[in-house]
Structure 1
Amino acid sequence: MQTQDRVQVNQLAEAIAASQQYLLSLQNPAGYWWAELESNVTITAEVVLLHKIWGTDQTRPLHKIEAYLRSQQRQHGGWELFYDDGGELSTSVEAYMALRLLGVPASDPDMMRARDFILQRGGISKTRIFTKFHLALVGCYDWRGLPSLPAWVMLLPKEFPVNIYEMSSWARSSTVPLLIVFDQKPVFVTNPSINLDELYAEGVENVQWELPRNNDWTDLFLTLDAGFKLAESFNFIPFREEGIKAAEQWILERQEATGDWGGIIPAMLNSMLALRCLNYHVNDPIVERGLQAIDNFAIETEDSYCVQPCVSPVWDTAWVIRAFIDSGIAPDHPAIAKAGEWLLQKQILDYGDWMVKNRQGKPGAWAFEFDNRFYPDVDDTAVVVMALHAAKLPNEQLKQMACDRALKWVESMQCKPGGWAAFDIDNDQDWLNAIPYGDLKAMIDPNTADVTARVLEMLGLCNLSIAPHNLERALNYLLNEQEAEGCWFGRWGVNYIYGTSGVLSALAAISPTKYQRQIERGAAWLVSCQNPDGGWGETCQSYNDPSLKGKGRSTASQTAWAIIGLIAAGEATGKFTRESLEKGINYLVSTQKSDGSWFEADFTGTGFPCHFYLKYHYYQQYFPLIALGRYQKIGQ
């Protein structure tokens, strides 16, 4: 290691102090931290569509969305699924649709470039089901080319092998309202009215309005779908009215007082579409609250308007607390105390959908968002418990009781294979991803290595215990998930760097001596994929192509994850990879901006692998601070 590559003690201290001050300056007066959660443009495009359908487009600054969408169009003419991906077909079609709804003519130069991009990739007929669905709502695609969703699905009992609770929480909260919409098959008149005939590569007169075949066993679902469509043509749909009524009741029961559904925009938009199909009035309080909830996810500037897919205040706040304490701020610092008390107020003490498959658990978890009482999750809960454990709050007894309640809930959520999933237990019927409707391959929520690792890290760091056989099952699950290269898959972060860092942190915290070989293999893999600039990076394409594991341009967040994992491995084995760590720390210090922040353009968060990605705008802030703080503690 050359001397000039070393980070001096004063440089490290200055970088930490600058980062701390930057984050301290951003705390909300209520105590929390919350930054933008960025996704692709389809969320905003679908909001345009919703307001056009409801006729509420003139009451929102939707004209600013045109500037936003134009700013996101790339030189090749398309729009991206994630940063610098070369453009993606379905994303581009939805952006084009929104611009047309906003009055931009097809002859506009940007639209002509977009049309060329779309046609080169096969046009509308090659897009995903949900893009075709949104086009069908305004007559730009024929409902015949979409799968049937019979409303009687709503009535299938919980004990039946197929029912709505075998879907992941996000699929469930989005699908139940669509049972109503797909039953009605509406075509709404918008102002302006549009057609997108120019986006059919084969010519609109030649379109085959049918579901694509896979030429394997999954084509059985196409036969079933044909049967459903035949029944619809004869108006023979058993329990149709009962199913629609049950879906409507389910939607109303799950609306938060703030108007949200499921804490995610797709569930919110679909629920609003269902209410529109049921002829709810625009001034109905339920509708008004729903529209306001969508407004609350918007980010408006002087000349731009876009909508986030979700909001992350609980998650962000817990990680900032951990970053502060890991980097040397006193656990009873006023900012930490205020944030900790805010988190305590956000603990969910209601029963949610998780109780359907978990009959033993009692409430006590946290969700990701401001309000989401039906869908708390294991990952957030574990991170909040670790943050609260490290903090010193005015009411320590309340804190302890809250954490005890959370621990019991988490233990009750363990899946049969031994790991933990995000929102439900044993939500793992993979065949559901093969149905035509599920072409995003996100219909289930099985246990994963990264969420399991978070739980085990919580147990180790907070000196908490669960039943010994449950702990053993979890560790065995985690060890069996290790890849041949030594890494672990990351379901909720990109990708193997995220998963490997989390598992190394867990094993180091829960059992540092027993699993030396697995820890060393994981650390060696991280070292092997360090970039020449000292940082780490991994492209979202690693979900599609495993040969890209750990490969990509360096980012602040992924570099921090690798450093965190290597430090944990070093503490467990007593073998620190000093040269690799020094290069990584040097990368973070040298790329820090003058205000103490970092910037990365890349998306390092995952919604649905291969299909939906996220950029958490605070990932590039608190994870580097954690890495720098932990590095400072082990000494140079």
Structure 2
Amino acid sequence: MNSVSTFLETQRRTGSGPRTETAADVSHCLDAAVGRLRALQHDEGWWKGDLATNVTMDAEDLMLRHFLGIATADGDEQTARWIRSQQAADGSWSTFAGGPGDVSTTVEAWVALRMAGDDPAAEHLQRAAAFVRANGGLEGCRVFTHMWLSLFGLWSWHDCPDLPPELIFLPSWAPLNIYDWGCWARQTIVPLTIVSALRPVRPVSFDAADLRTGAPRPPKDRLPSWSGLFQRLDVLLHGYTSLPVKPLRNLAMRRAVEWIVARQEADGGWGGIQPPWVYSLIALHLMGYSLDHPVMRAGLAGLDGFTVHEETEDGPIRWLEACQSPVWDTGLAVAALLDAGVAPDDPDVLRATDWLLDEQITADGDWQVRRPDLPSAGWAFEFANDVYPDTDDTAEIVLALRRVDHPEPKRLGAALDRSVAWLTGMQSRDGGWGAFDADNTRTWAEKLPFCDFGAVIDPPSADVTAHVVEMLAAEGRAEEEPCRRGVQWLLDAQEQDGSWFGRWGANHVYGTGAAVPALVAAGMPTDDPVVRRAVRWLEDHQNDDGGWGEDLRSYRDPTWIGRGDSTPSQTAWALLALLAADEDSDAVARGLRHLVETQREDGGWDEDRYTGTGFPGDFYISYRLYRLVFPIWALGRYLERFRGRDERRPA
């Protein structure tokens, strides 16, 4: 009997722990989870969990509707009810559940509630205003917040960084051209150049004096420094914007409009995410697009598809998803079912496979600016985002679908072969993979005064690189140069403590949970020092309850790295790494026990903490399906490794 089974059997015999279980309980837990996952599949074959973020999405949606003149009293109240429900005891709103208050988020929530008709003397708004003043005031907010307030006369456009539309003319080789930005950032920047140039103001009936501290503007950074240089360049750009004659300005704005319209997706949105969507609607409206123009109608209608309506004890609420993840969720769900022992020709697996095959992208996209001769064959994150397939989705889908026993094997094989070629071609020069673009590594944009919020470039990351390396290894290409270079990139990226940084998931637990399975799949021995350091890091950061968790504050405060309340998704990530490292230890047994003990009666798990990352340090996501699919992966791989599939029959 291996030590994991011995540990579990000891628990059964001695009655130690809050409840007892044997390895059979792990199997029962997995069967219940698989049943829950099956029940959540859409008739068309896909899965999608709601994506919760923070109330800036809802505040900006409300402000957008007021700016466009389409707000309704009922819609305002439903949004306001949701925003109020998310306020913390100290009066603030945070960027993630359980996190510290954020000044900019709180300011936007306060303004939205005022627009919805809340009394500024109301206790909840008084607490919010006091929090803002005590933490730097309106003066200390991020640029995005200042721009939103400038739209309504609550802040001065003169005090916002200038974004010249003439950027659209810069060739792709020039510094600060729009393709130097990550895809999410360029889609936001292009419409904002129009908004910044036109500087519209549609005044509201209140001011923001309650939020101000009267603090002076901070001094410019010293020269010589890139940030100091760009701050002084911004002064010149403001002067240029104030000139009565700007020969290229109108042409640049028309070119920007053409660029925006050409990238509207089938669902009416832009990039499948909220920021470029709302800014594109504002920019097009300012450029003369009426609300009944087909582009505007489609854009506004599409936002309704991102809106979640719920009934609460206090009345109906509405909140906005920042993005949607059906392709990602479906790829993960298929892999989870297969790891759980579900037959590769199972009807649910085949329905999902057929849906995914129909979602493969063959259209051109912005990534071809860096890879013009590479045929398109990736998958995107969303229902409709053909311009921006990503390497992460594509790698995970190839890993899952290659294991499917499809009735049309040639069709499936050809689609996956094309995707492998696309992924290989998207490798950056340094050997790693970014999510949406290759070689998107220039850091000029990060120094601009505008860029005080979120990641704006898309360099290779450990989690994405690991997923592609694992896929290439599964394809039998571990000895080929792209995979070897990817492995070397991962080796170079390992932290001194043995972990890896997680770009798209929280945080070092996610990065380590991706890197170890990839390296082992690529041929690294499990007793290699690289793997052993990672194992020690995971074991050292296991919580007393047997789970793992890492608070999102770890992106800004290193003392939080590897620390946080246990969550089912992060516990599963750690287990996936330990199982790949062939660990047969008490740490694995305790992690399994944690998942068994915290499972709900319906087969799922609760996860109040956010474990997804949009912009490290600034913007986070709660993927509602993570808490189910990743535990299924971990439980299934444990049973496969330590018991054998022939000893169990999955649900």
Q: Please report the TM-score for the alignment, with normalisation by the length of structure 1.
A: 0.95
1:299-330 deviations in Å (ceiling 9; x for gaps) = 01131100011000000011111111101111
Which residue, out of 151, 154, 164, partners 1:140?
154
Q: For 2:624, which of 614, 617, 620 is the aligned residue?
A: 617
Residue deviations 1:547-568, cap 9 Å, x none?
3221111111100000001001
Question: 2:176 touches 2:445 (CA, 8 Å); kept in 1?
Answer: no
- Aligned position for 1:26: 40
1:489 aligned onto 2:472: no
* SS of corresponding position for 1:626: helix
Task: Measure the CA separation in 2 of the matches of 1:457 and 1:564.
Answer: 13
1:88 pairs with 2:95: no
SS at match of 2:631: helix
Q: Cα distance, 1:59 vs. partner?
A: 8.9
Q: 1:567 to 1:328 in 2, by over 3 A?
A: same
User: Which deviates further from its counterpart, 167-176 or 214-223?
Assistant: 214-223
Q: Distance in 1 between matches of 2:74 and 2:523?
A: 54
Give the deviation of 1:496 after TM superposition. Answer: 0.4
Matched, 1:245 2:257: no
Structure 1 residue 211 displacement after superposition:
6.8
Change (3 A) 1:100 1:23: same
Query: What does 1:22-421 align with in structure 2 at a 5 Å threshold?
Result: 22-58=36-72, 61-189=75-203, 193-202=205-214, 208=216, 213-215=220-222, 217=225, 218-302=227-311, 303-421=316-434
The structural deviation recorded for 1:263 is 1.0
Q: Secondary structure at the match of 1:390?
A: coil
Greater than 4 Å deviation, 4+ residue runs = none
Report if the CA contact (8 A) 2:599-2:605 is conserved: yes
- In the alignment, is the contact (CA less than 8 A) between 2:478 and 2:484 conserved in 1? no
Please report how far the alpha carbon of residue 577 of structure 1 lies from its aligned counterpart in structure 2 after TM superposition. Answer: 3.8
Cα deviation, residue 396, structure 1: 1.6
Partners in 1 of 2:586 and 2:445 — Cα distance?
47
Q: Which residue of 1 aligns with 2:581?
A: 569
Give the Cα–Cα distance (whole angstroms) in 2 for the partners of residues 211 and 369 of structure 1: 40
2:3 alignment counterpart: none
Aligned residue identity for 1:120:
A
Q: C-alpha displacement at 1:91, in angstroms?
A: 0.6
What is the CA deviation profile of residues 138-190 of structure 1, one whole-angstrom value per residue up to 9, with x for unaligned ones?
11100111011111111111222331011100000011011111000000245
Could you say what secondary structure the match of 1:407 adopts?
helix
SS of the equivalent of 1:73 reads coil
Q: What secondary structure does 1:306 align onto?
A: strand
Superposition RMSD in Å: 1.6
Give CA-to-partner distance per residue, 1:405-446, whole Å, 9 cap, x none. 100110110001110000001111123111111111411100
Aligned equivalent of 2:648: none
What displacement does 1:221 show? 1.0
Matched, 1:521 2:533: yes
Distance, in Å, in 2 between the alignment partners of 1:443 and 1:14 is 45
| Residues 571-616 of structure 1: CA deviation (Å, up to 9, x unaligned) | xxxxx24210000000000000111110111111000010111110
Structure 1 alignment gaps of length 5 or more: 571-575
Q: Distance in 2 between matches of 1:541 and 1:351?
A: 38
* Contact 1:146/1:211 (<8 A) preserved: no
**What SS does structure 2 have at the residue aligned with 1:57?**
coil
Q: Which among 537, 542, 557 is matched to residue 554 of structure 2?
A: 542
The aligned amino acid for 2:58 is: T
What is the percent sequence identity of the aligned residues? 38
Shift of 1:465: 2.7
Partners of 1:142 and 1:394 in 2: how far apart? 62
Q: Which runs of 5+ in 2 are unaligned?
A: 1-6, 644-651
The aligned runs of 1:445-456 (5 Å cut-off) are: 445-456=458-469
Q: 1:442 aligns with which of 451, 455, 467?
A: 455
Counterpart of 2:581 in 1: which secondary structure?
A: helix
Q: What code does the residue aligned with 1:166 have?
A: D
Matched, 1:554 2:566: yes
CA contact (8 A) 1:39 1:308 kept: yes
Partner Cα separation in structure 2 for residue 222 and residue 520 of structure 1:
46
Q: Distance in 2 between matches of 1:320 and 1:440?
A: 32
In structure 2, the residue matched to 1:573 is none
Distance 2:157 2:591 in 1: 53
CA contact 1:62–1:305 (8 Å) conserved in 2:
no
Kindly state the Cα deviation for residue 378 of structure 1 after the two structures are TM-superposed: 0.2
SS at match of 1:175: helix
Report deviation, 1:471.
2.3
Scaled by the length of structure 2, the TM-score of the pair is 0.93
Q: Give, in whole Å, the separation in 1 of the partners of 2:269 and 2:413.
A: 30
SS, match of residue 320 in structure 1: helix
Give the Å deviation of 1:389.
Answer: 1.1
- In 2, are the aligned partners of 1:538 and 1:552 still within 8 Å (CA)? yes
Distance 2:145 2:630 in 1: 35
- Give the letter for the 2:66 counterpart: K
> Structure 1 pair 134/515, CA: closer, same or farther in 2 (3 Å)?
farther
Provide the C-alpha distance between the structure 2 equivalents of 1:394 and 1:97, rounded to a whole number of angstroms. 56
Provide closer, same or farther for how the CA distance between residues 198 and 458 of structure 1 changes in structure 2, counting only shifts above 3 A.
same
Q: C-alpha separation between the residues in 1 aligned to 2:515 and 2:246?
A: 49
1: CA distance, partners of 2:479 / 2:473? 14
In 1: Cα distance, 2:530 partner to 2:411 partner: 38
Q: 1:464 to 1:249 in 2, by over 3 A?
A: farther
